[in-house]
Structure 1
Amino acid sequence: MRIGLISDTHGDPTAWDAAMRALGPVDLITHAGDVLYHGIFNPITETYRPRHLAEILNGLTTPMVHARGNCDSEVDQLALDNHILSDFAWVSHEGVRILVTHGHKYPEEDLILMAHRAGAQLLHVGHTHVPVIEDVDHVVLFNAGSCAVPKQEGGFATVGLLEDGKLFVLDVRTGERYLEGELP
């Protein structure tokens, strides 16, 4: 089982393509929000082309689920076939339960509690653009960072992968593992 974990693509098809190359083939993709719009506080990248990214996403054959980010809007939804306007997405795939949310609306403690109540092993969030893999009370808090507008030290693009119970944040430039963890 291989699940791609991504967020904060902010309308950048070049960043999306690089992230998908780093991931390789996956069975499913979860997107923790901020799909198309760059947002007022983020720089507009040279490769910002939200309509083109929408076309790429609409053409995917890999199943994909989204949670709404603070930059996602009804206008963005008009361009996309998949629903992106729910604050939460629940995924159960091959025995792994994942709660997906952007992470900007609710305190981390509340999100961990929601994940527990749903029996989720993984809480996939975005928003900060900073990668994190952290076990919080037997739920893994996972942030893949951003492939488009990274904000961690060093400022390099990242994407996440869940493979057979192991979690990785990958450096998009090289495909190498930047962070590692595993499901409880």
Structure 2
Amino acid sequence: MKLMIASDIHGSAYYCRRLLQAYEKEQADKLLLLGDILYHGPRNDLPREYAPKQVITMLNDISGEILCVRGNCDTEVDQMVLDFPILADYCILYHHSTMIFATHGHHFNESSLPKLKEGDILLHGHTHIPACSQHGHYTYLNPGSVSIPKEDSPNSYLILEDGAFLWKTLEGTVWKEYAMK
């Protein structure tokens, strides 16, 4: 299974459209969204082409292919207009015996770890900064942000396929890779 992982669309129709074009080009089986889908939040400037209603339509068109966790900017009101579940604080995926704990990052993060065992992966967005860092017993991964990247990082997403994570720009250029053991 090929999984595309993205975070922090923040209501940008422009970047949602580009993400979905990349999703189609990647021919991924599912799109995992790590929260902050429609609202830009009070700390962020408006992203390019801020149009949450257009984002709703684009994502609802592929609702059967989306897995999602709730971000700090996502609410029950957002769930009323989206045709896929968005209110779970996390989801757990497995690749062989490796658990991937996927969350937004505002509750569970490197300062507030979930229960992880040796070799598990903590995957979250929220910071808008791509990351891949190995710690004592777990690995932390972050796809960065689709629409409002920070610290001079590109607008990016992750691909998980055959045990490897690939960080890609929205143009599809691979700029980092991590292989699970």
TM-score in terms of structure 1 length: 0.86
- Structure 1 residue ranges without an equivalent (≥5): none
Aligned ranges 1:31-46 → 2 under 5 Å: 31-46=33-48
Amino acid of the residue matched to residue 163 of structure 1? E
- Structure 2 residue ranges without an equivalent (≥5): none
Partner of 2:148: 149
Amino acid of the residue matched to residue 76 of structure 1? D
Task: Note closer, same or farther for the CA distance 1:107–1:90 as it changes in structure 2 (3 Å cut).
Answer: closer
Q: What is the CA–CA distance in structure 1 between the aligned matches of 2:37 and 2:84, rounded to whole Å?
A: 11
Partner of 1:180: 177
TM-score in terms of structure 2 length: 0.87
Q: What is the CA–CA distance in structure 2 between the aligned matches of 1:128 and 1:182, rounded to whole Å?
A: 22
Amino acid of the residue matched to residue 130 of structure 1? I
Q: Offset of 1:121 from its aligned partner?
A: 3.7
Cα contact 2:165–2:178 (8 A) shared by 1: yes
Task: Note closer, same or farther for the CA distance 1:94–1:20 as it changes in structure 2 (3 Å cut).
Answer: farther
Q: What is the CA–CA distance in structure 1 between the aligned matches of 2:144 and 2:116, rounded to whole Å?
A: 20
Q: Offset of 1:177 from its aligned partner?
A: 1.1
Q: Which moved more, 1:51-60 or 1:101-110?
A: 101-110
Say yes or no: does 1:163 pair with 2:161.
Answer: yes
Percent identity, aligned pairs only?
32
Say yes or no: does 1:72 pair with 2:103.
Answer: no
| Aligned-residue RMSD, C-alpha | 2.2
